[in-house]
Amino acid sequence: MLVFSRKPGDAIVVNNEVEIKILEVKGDQVKIGIEAPKSVPIYRKEIFSQIKEENEKAISDSSVLEKLKGF
């Protein structure tokens, strides 16, 4: 894991197209802004984990696989 120390107003650029900017630090909460192309999906980790879990359930459910074979 790469760890950065940033102050409000500072930013990090990822892969020449995603900018993560520190907007505000208040107590133990950090507000960030993310600028990225619309083609780059951005999720909070807890949402991403739920999506991943639901996808894994769907893959393991053989009845769903049978339904998809008809397409």
Q: Dig out the tokens for 61 from the structure.
A: 């459910």
Q: Which of 23-27, 47-51, 52-56, 61-65 has the lowest mean pLDDT?
A: 61-65
The set of residues, in sequence order, having a beta carbon less than 8 Å from that of 21 and lying 6+ positions away, is 9, 10, 11, 12, 32, 33, 34, 35
32/47 same-domain check: no
Structural domain that includes position 3? 1-38
34/1 same-domain check: yes
28/45 same-domain check: no
For residue 2, what pLDDT band results from cuts at 50, 70 and 90?
very high
Q: How many domains does the chain have?
A: 2
1/30 same-domain check: yes
3/31 same-domain check: yes
Predicted local confidence at residue 58, as pLDDT? 79
34/46 same-domain check: no
| pTM score of the predicted model | 0.71
Quick one: average pLDDT of 38-52? 95
29/47 same-domain check: no
Predicted local confidence at residue 57, as pLDDT? 84
Q: Kindly state the percentage of the chain with pLDDT values over 90.
A: 75
